[in-house]
Amino acid sequence: MNTSRRILLTGLAGLAVAPTAVVAAIPTSAPDDVTVAEERFARTIAAAHAPDVTCARQAERYADAHWPEYVVAARAVLDARV
- The pLDDT, as a whole number, for residue 24 is 47
Answering whether pTM is above 0.85, one says no
**50 by DSSP, 3-state: which?**
coil
- Tell me how crowded residue 79 is: count the other CB atoms within 10 A of its CB: 9
- The pLDDT, as a whole number, for residue 31 is 58
What is the rounded CA–CA span in Å between residue 42 and residue 11? 10
- The pLDDT, as a whole number, for residue 80 is 84
| pLDDT tens profile 5-52 | 666 666 666 655 545 544 444 444 455 688 898 999 999 888 888 887
Contact 68, 23 (CB under 8 A): no
Q: Hey, where are the domains in the chain? A: 3-81
